[in-house]
Amino acid sequence: MLETFQTIILGVIEGITEFLPISSTAHLIMGRYLLGINTTEFLNFFIIFIQLGAISAVPILYFKRLISGINIYLYLITSFIPAIVFGLLLDDWMESIFEGYWFIAISWILGGIILIKFDDWVKENSNDNEITNITFLQSLKIGLFQCLAMIPGVSRSGATIIGGRLSGLNAKSAIEYSFLLGIPTILGASAKKIFDYKDHVNEYLFGAYSYQLYLGFLISLVVALFSIKWMVGIVHQFGFKYFGYYRVIIGLSLIIYLSWK
């Protein structure tokens, strides 16, 4: 099981990184490694649970958008369909093919380079549409981009934000749509994974170590509330380039570490 400080740190990592274009999965993998946490079924269930904590921040912050009408749900369903199809068919296979710390490092760097250059490119290619003007074709394109996140180290939020920008949304709308799309995506993925642990769900939720789940959930939720606000402000003022610089730095740092290990 987890120590209390490990629970807190993993909850903070998930809350910070779930909505930033820096790959929460890669950060959790590295966090578990640096904390010396062995992979167990309980740990896998814990990761699922704190992801639910992070995504719970979205309906709190974007409640007005979610009650604005049925259209937003139709668009989100359209974006979610590719994740259902490709996720069921390819998710486990992709994780087995593209696994390991070296691949995470390379993915961080390549994704970082894209983010550094991305702002200048989309200035000339974006129609700067608001989220209220999104079309079913645009939502489908964003859903296809989200499927790239099945590759470890590729950020779900980063992929969907880039997809939104390339589909014609302005930065604010692309970010907001990415956050909203995380609701069905993470809920769907979590439901699938929780089913894999159906024989242990009651034990995990109500057993001696269940407090770790709820502590991690709460920390992830609270941190995510601040992380979302912070990201929107950073992108509004500086664009995505600083997230790109961060990805390149940690990717290179991981390569150096692996080379000297």
Which DSSP string corresponds to 127-177?
--B-GGG--HHHHHHHHHHHGGGGSTT--HHHHHHHHHHHTTB-HHHHHHH
**pLDDT (tens digit per residue) in 115-145:** 999 988 886 555 567 888 899 999 999 999 9
Spacing of C-alpha 115 from chain mean position: 16
- Cβ proximity of 197 and 213 under 8 Å: no
Rounded Cα distance, 212 and 195, in Å: 20
| DSSP-assigned letter for residue 125 | T
Q: What percent of the chain has pLDDT over 90?
A: 66
**Can you give the residue range of the structural domain that contains 19?**
4-260
**pLDDT of amino acid 141:** 96
Tell me, what amino acid is at 136? F
pLDDT for residue 98 is more than 80: no
- Cβ proximity of 52 and 15 under 8 Å: no
Average pLDDT over residues 186-204: 87
User: Which two three-digit tokens encode residue 63?
Assistant: 């409640």
Q: How confident is the model at residue 153 (pLDDT cuts 50, 70, 90)?
A: confident
**pLDDT of amino acid 23:** 92
Beta bridge partners of 169: 129
Rounded Cα distance, 77 and 231, in Å: 25
Of how many residues is the chain composed?
261
Q: Closest Cα to residue 86, out of 126, 34, 29, 145?
A: 145
Tell me, what amino acid is at 82? P
Q: Closest Cα to residue 143, out of 119, 159, 165?
A: 159
**pLDDT of amino acid 120:** 85
Q: How confident is the model at residue 159 (pLDDT cuts 50, 70, 90)?
A: very high
| DSSP-assigned letter for residue 21 | T
User: What is the chain's mean pLDDT, rounded?
Assistant: 90
Q: Could you give the C-alpha distances from 173 to 25, 116, 127, 180, 245, in angstroms and in order?
A: 24, 20, 12, 10, 23
Q: Could you give the C-alpha distances from 202 to 121, 122, 194, 255, in angstroms and in order?
A: 50, 48, 11, 41
**pLDDT (tens digit per residue) in 76-88:** 999 999 998 887 7
How many distinct structural domains can be found in the chain? 1
